[in-house]
Amino acid sequence: MRITLISIPVRDQEKALKFYTEKLGFIIKKDAPLEGGNRWLTLVSKEAQDGPELLLEPAPNHFEPCKVFQDALMEAGFPYTQFDVDNVDSEYERLTKLDVKFSITPTKMGTVKFAVFNDTCGNNIQIVENL
């Protein structure tokens, strides 16, 4: 068994695509139209193009429990998911220059350093560096 796809709920696939590609640097792996104007839209890391795919899932627009869960995580300030980075400080600086808004600036906790930002699509995302 292996992980090949992880989904993240987004309220606007086009806005999410722009944020995740232009600001975070992911690249499109699959983009196929679905019913209702939705798309099967997956992204991968430039560094691991054959690695796990990130599905930009429009579930909050069609499944109320998903929207409620997403809203509750945002309100509590909890990250929906985490991306590993080589250097949290340099990613923080790079993303801040791109107007990405952080709720938690780089913070060391034990053997990791992390920061949390808003993806503009309904999610807090945590970046983590193993020290």
Q: Which residues lie across from 27 on neighbouring strands?
A: 44
Q: Which CATH class is domain 5-130?
A: alpha beta
The dihedrals phi and psi of 16, each to the nearest 5 degrees, come to: -65, -45
Q: What's the pLDDT score for residue 121?
A: 95
What is d(CA 80, CA 34) in angstroms, rounded to the nearest whole number? 25
* pLDDT tens, N- to C-terminus, the chain (131 residues): 999 999 999 999 999 999 999 999 999 999 999 998 999 999 999 999 999 999 999 999 999 999 999 999 999 999 999 999 999 999 999 999 999 999 999 999 999 999 999 999 999 999 999 99
Residues 6+ apart with CB under 8 A from 128: 82, 83, 84, 85, 88, 112, 113, 114
Q: What is the pTM of this model?
A: 0.95
Query: In the chain, which ranges are E strands?
Result: 5-9, 27-33, 39-44, 53-57, 81-84, 102-109, 112-118, 124-130
In the chain, domain spans: 5-130
